[in-house]
Amino acid sequence: MNTIRLPAEWEEQDGVLLAWPHEATDWKPFLHPVQETFAAIMAHASHHARVLLLTTAPDEVRRHLRHTEAVQERILMIPLLTNDTWARDFGPITVYENHRPVLMDFQFNGWGGKFRADLDNAASRTIKEHGTFGAHHLRHVHLILEGGAIDSDGQGTLLTTRSCLAHPNRNPHLTSADMEQALRQFLGAERVLWLENGYLEGDDTDGHVDMLARFAPHDTILHVSCDQPDDPHYHAFAAMEEELRAFRTATGNPYRLLALPWPDARHAPDGHRLPASYANFLILNGCVLVPTYNDPHDKTALAVVSQAYPGRRIIGIDCSSLILQHGSLHCVTMQIPKGVLS
């Protein structure tokens, strides 16, 4: 019998994939600060996994890494130009098929055609051609699916949002039931938990779950929360929390919920609100990198994540630059599970 399993992100990893911001991306007005942020992420990540970096500017990358404590020999630069930097959404989603890794190359259409994505959509194939994934199979799937739209507990349950995964700008020919069948076929999903509520102002993704709620070990879910009744997110987050309380594990038990704080409102130069979220953390071997925003709630967020991952080092990384283009730390990274690179 063919078995497929999408591992949880806290399982052992070989590496993490990123794409370097460059002048031809929307990062141009903020290029130096965002490159500094990328260098910080890569430096910390290199102590826990190999770093695969898509870039056509290796000398520029080295200049930014020079003043960090990066483990340089664990950073592999792959000469590849991208439209943008959101590796979570265009990078391969790795499953284990009969216990062997298979890289699933889903289609990426720039979050419903909002942005150009031809280079990003081809990235996984180009990385494979470069030889980085060795002999492991890269399976092309004619289904639009972004990594940030789903979260796995590693045991057959996926968490997602109706606003994104059932949006007509992704796979308009599919119903929600069709999408569940596709998730079973390609990712081994036995159950899909659909969130109907929750959103972030300034979010381009139509409600990626990795900005809202995340699985953690021992039947735990971390989720954003808001205790400010005058905030426009207050009622949506309260409704989402009620949904999470109603969810049950595969064995019929309620989940342990850990509420992440809500950072103070941040705004772009033109006045629109930016989607800052502490749920957008990255789990690596032995550590968790948590986005911070020079905000009074940063310390509390780190403590909450520590409750979910007590045996790991919790590292805050200032991601104030990343939210200027409406994403954060998890959005710019894609983990490469154990067995792909080794």
The predicted pLDDT at position 136 comes to: 82
CB 213, CB 222: distance < 8 Å: yes
Torsion-angle region of 294 (φ positive above 0: left; ψ -120 to 50: alpha; else: beta): left
Distance of CA 59 to the CA centre of its chain: 27
The 3-class secondary structure across the chain, one letter per residue, is: CCCEECCCCCCCEEEEEEECCCCCCCCHHHHHHHHHHHHHHHHHHCCCCEEEEECCCHHHHHHHHCCCCCCHHHEEEECCCCCCCCHHHHCCEEEEECCEEEEEEEECCHHHHCCCCHHHHCHHHHHHHHCCCCCCCEEEEEEECCHHHEEECCCCEEEEEHHHHCCCCCCCCCCHHHHHHHHHHHHCCCEEEEECCCCCCCCCCCCCHHHCEEEECCCEEEEECCCCCCCCCHHHHHHHHHHHHHCECCCCCECEEEEECCCCCCECCCCCECCCCCCCCEEECCEEEEEECCCCCHHHHHHHHHHHCCCCEEEEEECCCHHHHCCCCHHHCEEEECCCCC
Q: For 233-251, what is the mean pLDDT?
A: 98
| pLDDT, tens only, 288-318 | 999 999 999 999 999 999 999 999 999 999 9
Buried-state track 270-289, b at ≥16 Cβ within 10 A, e below 16: eeebbbbbbbbbbbbbebbb
Torsion-angle region of 113 (φ positive above 0: left; ψ -120 to 50: alpha; else: beta): left
Tell whether the model's pLDDT for residue 279 goes beyond 70: yes
The predicted pLDDT at position 1 comes to: 62
The predicted pLDDT at position 108 comes to: 98
Arithmetic mean of pLDDT over the chain: 97
The predicted pLDDT at position 135 comes to: 81
215: which 2 tokens?
Answer: 């699985």
Q: What does CATH list as the number for 4-337?
A: 3.75.10.10
> Phi, psi at residue 136, to the nearest 5°?
-70, 140
Buried-state track 13-22, b at ≥16 Cβ within 10 A, e below 16: bbbbbbbbbb
Tell whether the model's pLDDT for residue 134 goes beyond 90: no
Distance of CA 77 to the CA centre of its chain: 21
Q: How far is CA 173 from CA 177, 178, 312, in A?
A: 11, 9, 43
4: which 2 tokens?
Answer: 């497929």
Q: What is the rounded distance in angstroms from the CA atom of residue 297 to the CA atom of residue 302?
A: 9
Domain boundaries in the chain? 4-337
Tell whether the model's pLDDT for residue 342 goes beyond 70: no
| pLDDT, tens only, 72-94 | 999 999 999 999 999 999 999 99
Of 282, 278, 244, the C-alpha closest to 260 is 278
CB 248, CB 157: distance < 8 Å: no
Tell whether the model's pLDDT for residue 281 goes beyond 90: yes
**Which entry of 226, 287, 319, 331 is annotated as an active-site residue?**
331
Tell whether the model's pLDDT for residue 2 goes beyond 80: no
Q: Residue for token digits 């290029």?
A: 31
Asked about 331 being catalytic, the answer comes back as yes
